[in-house]
Amino acid sequence: MLVEKKVKNKYIVAILAIANVALIFHFVFNNRKPQDQLKVSIANGKLLAEAYCQSCHSMPEPSLLSKETWINGALPTMGPFFGINSFKGLDYQPVKDVDEGTFPKEPILDSLQWQSIMDYYYSFAPEQLPAQVKNPSAVKSLPYFSIGLPKTQVVFGKVSMTSFIKVDTTVSPRRIMVSDAMAQKLYVFDDKLNLLTTNAGAGLITDMDFQPGQTLVSNLGQNVEANNQRNGDVSIISIDKEGLASKGRRLFDKLARPVKITHGDLDNDGKMDYLTSEFGNIIGNLSWMRNKGNGNFQKIVLRDKPGVLNTIVYDYNRDGLKDVFALFAQGDEGVFLFTNKGNNKMETRQVLRFPPSYGSTWFDLVDFNRDGYPDIVYTCGDNADYTPILKPYHGVYIFLNDGKNNFNQKYFYPINGCYKALVRDFDKDGDLDIAAISFFPSSLQPEEAFTFLKNNGGYGFSAYKLPINTPFEKGITMDVADLDRDGRLDILLGNGFYNSNEKDPRKQPLFIVLRNNFK
């Protein structure tokens, strides 16, 4: 009994000591000068941000956004992920149409902790982000290409939104597939830009995979805006000589905004498998649709996260098993490598990681330095979110491979709102040039809608823009192919034009073609 009493006394003393420390802290904190209280709050906010914010993505530094953007945009967007739906009279609107359990029902952080995080970001964020390190006057008018416009007014409008454009190189003469995001029509043009066929009710096409005897089409769903609905699909269609598309069977359905379909025999069983890229919004995933034969597929989720934009099948280690590189652009943004280990197993490694404010938009594998290892060309510039300000880190990046799939930045060219970049040797001088588009160019630099970077050697590039009055306002999508089969690569640009001024009669086409005139 005496021992039990001593133990109880020890517990009582410990509890009183803890309570005493809490009272002292409360007294000291609340009796500090406001400036001292703020310093403590900021220090706590940094620790909390490191503990909680980077549990889902890379640690976002305060310098990446302005003070106002952090307080009124980024942090209110993040609040619901911590169960915080309102703060100091401001309602945070959680994303709708998500699965139950996506957001915590009870707050993970209390109001003091959330205030500390806000204090940290507000204190260290700049009033405004610095401007791009670029001289716009050094960007010259593009001399190496001639502009080609569609030979029909059908695809000219005050609203021209192209969700997809691609040259079908499996037929001769070659044809252009153009998807109208607003009208949900698929237009087919010949190589001279004459309209062959209009396919109504084609859906919101985001990708087409041309294969012998069939074409796979990825359909985003009913709504171009961000949502978590699972009404996208991948279907098999056939397109006749006149460009008329007849829909076949639906291969995969109930997909969350699929943006890419990639084929490859990943298990070496002689049957074609597919990768479905469900970009989604809060939900989404990258999945391997393993072909089991007789029209049956086994869905193997490679990464159960949203935001997958592009996938490339490539046997990087040359072991006879096809591996997968993929770019994710939501939450934990970055390039992921899925190494094929056989027996339907993939080993995941993130080879590049970017803060969520980067707004990743595209990547490609290109051996830029000709050392036999694939390098990464990456673009970021998505500003269709809660932080729509100009960001000096938006643009085109080149990351070189050290031979062990460690990638280090070698080059950066700033482009506000950069959406995609395609790398080819357009002038046939032996090195690689870059064609890039922007969907969110600066209003002070509208010419950023298209940038051509001509490689002068040694990672020195000369920048060029479209000639004045070219009817191309913003770039959503693009393709590169030898359209007229003259041995030179042409560039096709999918437009994003919106004219809401009733008194402004301007119309622009869904797409333009840059015909290569390099000698």
> How do residues 174-212 score in pLDDT, each as one tens digit?
999 999 999 999 999 999 999 999 999 999 999 999 988
Q: Which residue has the tokens 């290892």?
A: 373
Both tokens of residue 4? Answer: 């039990």
- Name which of 516, 513, 518 is nearest 189 in CA terms: 513
Mean pLDDT on 272-294: 97
Statement to judge: residues 423 and 492 lie in one domain: yes
Statement to judge: residues 73 and 184 lie in one domain: no
Residue type, 52: Y
Q: What is the pLDDT of residues 210-225, one digit of tens each?
A: 988 889 999 999 888 8
Task: Specify the pLDDT at position 385.
Answer: 81
Statement to judge: residues 383 and 347 lie in one domain: yes
**CA dihedral sign, ordered 259, 372, 437, 351:** positive
Q: How many structural domains does the chain have? A: 2
Q: What is the pLDDT of residues 238-259, one digit of tens each?
A: 999 899 998 779 999 999 999 9
In a domain, 3, yes or no: no
Identify the DSSP state of 221: -
In a domain, 219, yes or no: yes
In a domain, 62, yes or no: yes
Statement to judge: residues 408 and 451 lie in one domain: yes
Statement to judge: residues 108 and 218 lie in one domain: no
Statement to judge: residues 370 and 475 lie in one domain: yes
In a domain, 4, yes or no: no
Both tokens of residue 432? Answer: 């690689």
CB 231 within 8 A of CB 281: no
Statement to judge: residues 265 and 347 lie in one domain: yes
pTM: predicted TM-score of the whole model, two decimal places: 0.91
Statement to judge: residues 215 and 75 lie in one domain: no
Domain boundary among 76, 97, 124: 124
Residue 494: give its domain's CATH number.
2.130.10.10
In a domain, 8, yes or no: no
Statement to judge: residues 43 and 182 lie in one domain: no
Domain boundary among 77, 96, 124: 124
In a domain, 10, yes or no: no
Statement to judge: residues 71 and 211 lie in one domain: no
In a domain, 160, yes or no: yes
Which residues span the domain enclosing 184? 136-516
Q: Give the whole-angstrom CA distance, residue 423 versus residue 431.
A: 10
Statement to judge: residues 44 and 140 lie in one domain: no
In a domain, 14, yes or no: no
Statement to judge: residues 76 and 168 lie in one domain: no
Task: Specify the pLDDT at position 441.
Answer: 96
Q: Give the whole-angstrom CA distance, residue 411 versus residue 279.
A: 28
Q: What is the pLDDT of residues 16-66, one digit of tens each?
A: 343 343 333 444 444 455 788 899 999 999 999 999 988 788 899 999 999
In sequence order, the 6+-apart residues with CB closer than 8 A to the CB of 501 are none
Identify the DSSP state of 11: H
Domain boundary among 86, 104, 124: 124
Examine the pLDDT at 7 and tell me if it is beyond 60.
no
